[in-house]
């Protein structure tokens, strides 16, 4: 079952990306290193509610 999630920058807390994940295979919160246009750098982005 795929669910929609929002990724927020861990430095500036801006919500930058929307994606999906399989909740059965990956029940833990997702963290990906992505580009933040507000920080103007690649930063870790964490899944938020």
Domain CATH code at residue 28: 2.20.28.120
Encoding tokens for residue 37? Answer: 């246009």
Residue 39 pLDDT class (50, 70, 90 cuts): very high
Q: Compute CA distances 4 → 11, 41, 42, whole Å.
A: 22, 25, 22
Averaged pLDDT of the chain: 95
Number of domains present in the structure of the chain: 1
Range of the domain at 18: 2-48
The closest of 16, 20, 21, 18 to 6, measured between CA atoms, is 18
Q: Indicate whether 33 pLDDT > 90.
A: yes
* Confidence bin at 3 (pLDDT 50/70/90): very high
Q: What is the pLDDT of residue 20?
A: 95
> What's the pLDDT score for residue 21?
96
Residue 49 pLDDT exceeds 90:
no
């Amino acid at each position: 079952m795929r669910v929609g999630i929002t990724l927020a920058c861990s430095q500036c807390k801006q919500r930058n990306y929307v994606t999906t994940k399989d909740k059965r295979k990956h029940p833990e919160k997702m963290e990906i290193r992505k580009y933040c246009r507000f920080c103007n750098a690649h930063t870790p982005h964490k899944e938020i509610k």
